[in-house]
């Protein structure tokens, strides 16, 4: 049984053929009708959300052995979208067995050249279905369509293209060494960039010759199952990628399974620590991409309008559901009043609301639990004496929403300056000297990302060398590229994803 999302059923009219007769004998009329047909706009793309999504194991969609399903809701409306299969330990075991069989029988033996062809085909099919996937991503997760359409989906395809290119060149990636695959990788991904995180994990694993069991986050499993359909349609051999959904114990069952060779996790630092403890002494390889509390450092010589725009993007992009979000702003004291004024003015113009509207800047918070977490931390900021500014924008009646906000009067000991809020909330602080800015920026248990805004290249180099963060943007923020490695220091985790470095967790070098 399938149901269509009624809101997307706008009729697709075929444009009438337009003939232009050139007034010269012997020259035929040009027919623009067939040559100039554009793809349908996202608004008129019809998507089908299934009533129920099964597990993807051994190349087939199978009912969970648990017999249980859980509900995924649209966070912008609070309406149920679909029921998602709940995998138990027996389902996890079936998925790992399917991955092992595919590794031993097919994928582990296949030449890199052949593996690359599959990855290219998958990348092409993602591009072809990008609009449908973008709409589903927005409906299930709450992110604005302009982000899922223009940021997430292009990057998802780009990751598959990029790693397709490496599949037959692993020995060039590591000169003088021979790179061999590891085996079966268990991958657990979060809800903030569901398809993008799936691509970051699956593409390098497959390029290096490993097979995969992927566990999506419980609030955003739908697009992973549509990706599974693409794997099927691409003819990817059965069991090379298996996708198991679940809530509660599914992730832990995957981590604890004895036949897994490698675990890759992106999510909270608390769960990352539990996973590190669970795999300790097991011989399983591990990479962790955890939380962050990034500082954006704004120097007085920066182009202020451009910087404010970048800072807004850095914290309000994807509702602040970004591990590398620039959630602390450090402003040089001399320009503080000016920056605050511009920040307030710009925030007043941000549009919060229907994520499927292409004019929306800030969509829905991913879940009620996440909204509660944001509210609790913001309340703590007010209780601890910081001053809160919130955009006065109207919010929709149902759904999970949070106004773009910033705090001033924040001290380093406040919870809002130390803990990851993972929502559209900025903490603004000041500094007098570059040394003080560096000290404040590094004064955190995290080390994922940072930003520097200045007119002087020399300042960028000097500060970047002193900041303890895996990714540092200068005069821009939140820019991603498959060729560029991404990952953290300290409690932000270890291991890199993306670029040549992103191959390393998936190979043994001999
Ligand atoms: P979370 O608790 O970190 O992660 C949930 C995922 O981890 C689920 O798929 C869950 O699956 C699995 N999991 C939980 N316990 C596990 C265990 N012991 N072993 C293996 N897997 C386990 O994320 P959340 O609760 O959705 O978000 C909480 C906070 O995490 C957010 O407020 C935010 O600060 C942070 N976060 C960070 C990122 C990032 O990109 N770094 C992304 C999302 C969230 P099961 O339910 O099946 O166990
Ligand atoms: Mg959902």
Q: Which helix (H) or strand (E) holds 426?
A: strand 425-431
How far, in Å, CA of 95 to CA of 89, rounded?
Answer: 10
Residues lying with their CB under 5 A of ligand 2, a single-atom ion: 72, 140, 219
CB-CB contact of 126 with 257 (8 Å): no
Question: The tokens 């890759």 sit on which residue?
Answer: 264
- Measured CA to CA, the distance from residue 193 to residue 267 in angstroms comes to 11
Judgement on whether residues 174 and 241 belong to the same structural domain of the protein: yes
Evaluate whether residue 122 is within a structural domain: yes
Which residues are identified as catalytic?
289, 323
Q: Give 144 Cα–ligand 1 centroid separation in angstroms.
A: 22
Do 284 and 312 share a domain, yes or no?
A: no
45 in a domain, yes or no? no
Report yes or no on 164 lying in a domain: yes
Judge whether 46 lies within some domain.
no
Pair (191, 272) in one structural domain: yes
Other C-beta atoms lying within 10 Å of the C-beta of residue 203: 28
Q: Is residue 24 one of the residues assigned to a domain?
A: yes
Considering only CA atoms, which of 239, 248, 179, 181 is closest in space to residue 214? 239
My answer on whether 286 and 393 are in the same domain is no
**Ligand 1 atom nearest to 246, measured from its CA:** 47
Domains identified in the chain, total number: 2
Q: Are residues 213 and 80 in the same domain?
A: yes
Which-ligand-closest: CA of 91?
A: 1
Same domain, 296 and 284: no
- Does residue 305 sit in the same domain as residue 442? yes
Which ligand 1 atom is nearest residue 248's CA? Answer: 46
Block mean pLDDT (10 aa), the chain, length 510: 40 40 51 58 76 98 97 97 98 98 98 98 96 96 97 98 97 93 98 98 98 98 98 98 97 98 96 96 95 96 96 95 95 98 96 95 98 98 98 95 97 95 97 97 94 97 96 96 93 92 96
Q: Do 412 and 326 sit in the same domain of this protein?
A: yes
Task: Kindly give the distance from the C-alpha atom of residue 271 to the centroid of ligand 1, in angstroms, as a whole number.
Answer: 6
For ligand 1, what atom is nearest to the CA of residue 448?
Answer: 41
pLDDT at 400: 98
In a domain, 94, yes or no: yes
Rounded to whole angstroms, the Cα distance separating 469 from 447 reads: 4
Do residues 304 and 347 share a domain?
A: yes
Residues 396, 409 within the same domain: yes
Ligand index nearest the alpha carbon of residue 420:
1
Residues 46, 9: Cα–Cα separation, whole Å: 5
- The domain that holds 450 is classified in CATH as 3.40.309.10
CATH number of the domain residue 195 falls in: 3.40.605.10
Instruction: Give the range of the structural domain holding residue 327, as residue numbers without chain letter.
Output: 4-31+292-474
Measured CA to CA, the distance from residue 381 to residue 375 in angstroms comes to 10
Q: Are 286 and 275 in contact (CB under 8 A)?
A: yes
**Domain match, 276 and 351 both:** no
CA of 351 to the centre of ligand 1 (A): 29
C-alpha–C-alpha distance, residues 419 and 202, integer Å: 30
Pocket test for ligand 1, best of 85, 197, 271 (most atoms within 8 A of CB): 271
282 is a domain residue: yes
CA of 266 to the centre of ligand 1 (A): 8
- Of 190, 446, 494, 497, the one to substitute when testing ligand 1's pocket (max ligand atoms within 8 A of C-beta) is 190
pTM of the entire structure? 0.91
Asked if the structure places residue 485 within a domain, the reply is: no
Find the 251 Cα to ligand 1 centroid distance in Å: 9
Pocket-forming residues, ligand 1, beta carbon under 6 Å: 188, 190-192, 215, 217-218, 246-252, 255, 266-268, 271, 274-275, 289-291, 323, 370, 373, 420, 422
246 and 359 together in one domain: no
């Amino acid at each position: 049984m399938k149901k269509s999302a009624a809101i997307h059923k706008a009729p697709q009219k075929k444009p009438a053929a337009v003939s232009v007769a050139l007034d010269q004998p012997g020259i035929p009329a040009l027919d623009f009708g067939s040559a100039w047909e554009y793809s349908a706009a996202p608004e008129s793309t019809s998507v089908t959300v299934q009533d129920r999504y099964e597990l993807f194991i051994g190349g087939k969609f199978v009912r969970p052995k648990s017999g249980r399903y859980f509900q995924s809701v649209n966070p912008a409306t609070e309406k149920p979208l679909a029921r998602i299969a709940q995998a138990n330990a027996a389902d996890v075991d079936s998925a790992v067995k399917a991955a092992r069989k595919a590794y031993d029988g097919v994928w582990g033996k296949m030449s890199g050249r052949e593996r690359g062809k599959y990855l290219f085909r998958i990348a092409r099919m993602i591009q072809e279905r990008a609009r449908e996937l973008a709409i589903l991503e927005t409906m299930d997760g709450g992110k604005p369509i302009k982000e899922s359409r223009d940021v997430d989906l292009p990057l998802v395809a780009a990751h598959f293209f990029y790693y397709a290119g490496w599949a037959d060149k692993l020995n060039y990636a590591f000169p003088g060494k021979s790179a061999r695959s590891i085996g079966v990788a268990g991958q657990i991904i979060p809800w903030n960039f569901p398809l993008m995180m799936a691509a970051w994990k699956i593409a390098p694993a497959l390029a290096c010759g490993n097979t995969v069991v992927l566990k999506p986050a419980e609030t955003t499993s739908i697009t992973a199952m549509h990706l599974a359909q693409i794997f099927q349609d691409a003819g990817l051999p059965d069991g090379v990628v298996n996708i198991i959904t679940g809530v509660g114990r599914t992730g832990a069952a995957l981590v604890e399974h004895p036949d897994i060779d490698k675990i890759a996790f992106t999510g909270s630092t608390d769960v990352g620590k539990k996973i590190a403890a669970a795999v300790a002494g097991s011989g399983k390889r591990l990479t962790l991409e955890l939380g962050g509390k990034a500082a954006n450092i704004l120097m007085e010589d920066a182009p202020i309008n451009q910087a404010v725009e970048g800072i807004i993007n850095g914290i309000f992009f994807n509702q602040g559901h970004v591990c590398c979000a620039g959630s602390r702003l450090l402003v040089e004291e001399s320009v503080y009043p000016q920056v605050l004024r511009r920040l307030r003015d710009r925030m007043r113009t941000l549009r919060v609301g229907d994520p499927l509207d292409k004019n929306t800047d800030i969509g829905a918070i991913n879940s009620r639990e996440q909204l509660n977490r944001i509210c609790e931390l913001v309340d703590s900021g007010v209780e601890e004496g910081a001053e809160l500014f919130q955009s006065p924008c109207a919010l929709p009646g149902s759904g999970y929403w949070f106004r773009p906000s910033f705090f001033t009067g924040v001290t380093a000991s406040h919870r809002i300056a130390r803990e990851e809020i993972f929502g559209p909330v900025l903490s603004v602080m000041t500094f007098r000297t570059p040394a003080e800015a560096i000290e404040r920026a590094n004064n955190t248990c995290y080390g994922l990302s940072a930003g520097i805004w200045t007119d002087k290249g020399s300042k960028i180099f000097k500060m970047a060398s002193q900041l303890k963060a895996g990714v540092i943007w200068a005069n821009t923020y939140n820019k991603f590229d498959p060729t560029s490695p991404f990952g953290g220091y300290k409690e932000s985790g270890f291991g890199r994803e993306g670029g040549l470095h992103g191959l390393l967790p998936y190979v043994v070098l001999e």
